[in-house]
């Protein structure tokens, strides 16, 4: 698969097959992520893997709590509320591998080029790394889904993630069970109408 195919085929995946992910596949993704641009060459991305079922099940409970809160916000719009509750917005328990991606703010202890007025350039750098990781998964026939419907403060406590790390997302990684008819799932399911 060439780069342009990987870019257009990359999907946010919430439906997974049970196939395990070979370590080499993850190795290639981490290597690709390490080639991403980063402000002042700080390379602030940190990848924490969540392999055990018990932790993933706790993450799922946190998702359910956050999702309930999201649903409450839609109470005034029953049609939208119904559609929202029909959407599967995570694959936390089915995907064989979970991953938390963090921004390591401790890099700011040393002088860094490019962060004087905008420390959030570190966050943007980590997003670049995430995208490289995602494209490398896609090129190898795997995929992932970004879960942001979570109380990250709770995830931090649960996984004893250092204070100076900021969580950007929880990711469900595995072999995709579908490509949602080659379009974003939110389009396929009618949540977003676009040309
Ligand atoms: C920062 C960020 C957070 C996201 N959080 C979620 C999420 O919590 N649950 C979900 O189902 N999709 C989430 N998504 C995926 C988007 O909905 C998805 O990227 C978009 O609908 C386009 O679909 P595609 O990635 O398949 O092209 C997130 C994407 C980004 C970039």
Closest residue by Cα to atom 6, ligand 1, is: 147
Closest residue by Cα to atom 25, ligand 1, is: 12
- Do 9 and 179 contact (CB within 8 A), yes or no? yes
Q: Return the pLDDT at 194.
A: 75
Closest residue by Cα to atom 29, ligand 1, is: 146
Closest residue by Cα to atom 7, ligand 1, is: 147
Distance 90 CA to ligand 1 centre (A): 10
CA atoms within 13 A on the CB side of 176: 22
Model-level pTM? 0.97
Q: Return the pLDDT at 82.
A: 95
Distance 9 CA to ligand 1 centre (A): 14
Q: Return the pLDDT at 195.
A: 62
Best residue among 7, 148, 167 to mutate for probing ligand 1, ranked by most atoms within 8 Å of CB = 148
Mark 8-33 as b/e (b = at least 16 C-beta within 10 Å): ebbbbbbbbeeeebeeebbebbeebb
Nearest atom in ligand 1 to the alpha carbon of residue 148 is 8
Which residues does a 6 A CB cutoff place in the pocket of ligand 1? 11-12, 14, 89-90, 145-149, 184, 186
Q: Which domains does the chain have, with CATH numbers?
A: 3-188 (3.40.109.10)
Rounded to whole angstroms, the maximal C-alpha distance in the chain is 52
Tens-digit pLDDT string for the chain (195 aa): 999 999 999 999 999 999 999 999 999 999 999 999 999 999 999 999 999 999 999 999 999 999 999 999 999 999 999 999 999 999 999 999 999 999 999 999 999 999 999 999 999 999 999 999 999 999 999 999 999 999 999 999 999 999 999 999 999 999 999 999 999 999 999 999 876
Separation between Cα atoms, residue 60 and residue 12, nearest integer Å: 18
């Amino acid at each position: 698969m060439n780069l342009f195919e990987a870019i257009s085929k990359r999907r946010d995946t919430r439906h997974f097959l049970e196939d395990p992910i070979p370590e080499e596949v993850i190795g290639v993704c981490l290597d690709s992520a390490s080639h991403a641009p980063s402000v002042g060459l700080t390379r602030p991305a940190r990848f924490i893997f969540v392999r055990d079922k018990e932790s993933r099940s706790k993450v799922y409970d946190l998702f359910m709590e956050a999702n309930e809160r999201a649903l409450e916000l839609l109470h005034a719009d029953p049609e939208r509320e119904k559609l929202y509750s029909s959407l599967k917005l995570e694959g936390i328990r089915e995907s064989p591998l979970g991953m938390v991606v963090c921004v390591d703010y401790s890099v700011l202890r040393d002088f860094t080029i490019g962060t004087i007025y905008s420390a959030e350039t570190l966050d943007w750098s980590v997003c670049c790394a995430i995208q490289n990781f995602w494209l490398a998964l896609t090129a190898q026939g795997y995929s992932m889904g970004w879960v942001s419907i979570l109380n990250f403060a709770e995830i931090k406590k649960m996984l004893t993630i250092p204070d100076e790390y900021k969580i950007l997302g929880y990711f469900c990684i595995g072999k995709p069970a579908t490509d949602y008819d080659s379009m974003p799932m939110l389009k396929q399911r009618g949540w977003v109408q676009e040309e």
